[in-house]
Structure 1
Amino acid sequence: MSRLIEQIAELTAFRDRDALDFSLASALRELLRPESIAIYRVVGAAGERRWLLRSRVGGSGAEAAADSLWSDLETLPALAALPHHALCLQGSRIVPLAGAPALTLFPLAADGEAMGVLEVRAPQPLAGDAQQLVCA
């Protein structure tokens, strides 16, 4: 395959991931009605891992944000900057956090490998039935 076609295929894959992450966040927003839904992916080499915000959708739908795929890694938060997210990722378990607002963190995995965290920001941590809906 030519290098140009390979590059176009890579860019298309990124675009598809953008759409998938945004669609997932939007669908969960519609189902759960939280303050916001965010999807963070882990990027960077071992020992230099960072959080890349892939999609954030506000409860009203007015807020939509994401870090650029071309962001300089140095500008992205290190894993340790979001310790509860790192705990969720490394432990592959749901992490509910009380507060104002409360967070419920869900690990995201592909092919058995942890790759990111889904963050649900709401007035209180998600109840068990809502957690099951996210995990289904």
Structure 2
Amino acid sequence: MFTMAVLEAVCLHLGDITILVEEEVKGMNVHVHGSVEFVFKRGTKRVPIAVAKRDNIDQGMARCVVCLEALADAEGLKRTLGIVTSYLHWVFISDEDESIQLINQPLNASLPSFESLKVIIGMICGMLADDSDNVE
């Protein structure tokens, strides 16, 4: 699974990060719970990662947004961040009170270049960065 190599690269770059596997988040007031394959945890930040089944990005985004809503409800957050991937296609999600923003980042080949992988890793590190971090 090439996705794991990207996740591991993020961990190596940031150092103080944990990957939780097969996580389920339950809402408190919103009666939903979402499950995702991975969650990056760094300090108080949690970023769910949904792996698109059969390259169905839309289905992965639906699972991730449900998880983000449950996370926002359970932890009282105004903004949550999530990731959906099929490895060759990455979607970065920002879920705020009144809007959901998406950044699509497809990789252009079946064997992506080092430069395109650096962009993906950089975007993930940016999502997990603290204000005091210097992420390149």
TM-score (norm 1): 0.37
Of structures 1 and 2, the larger Rg is shown by 1
TM-score (norm 2): 0.37
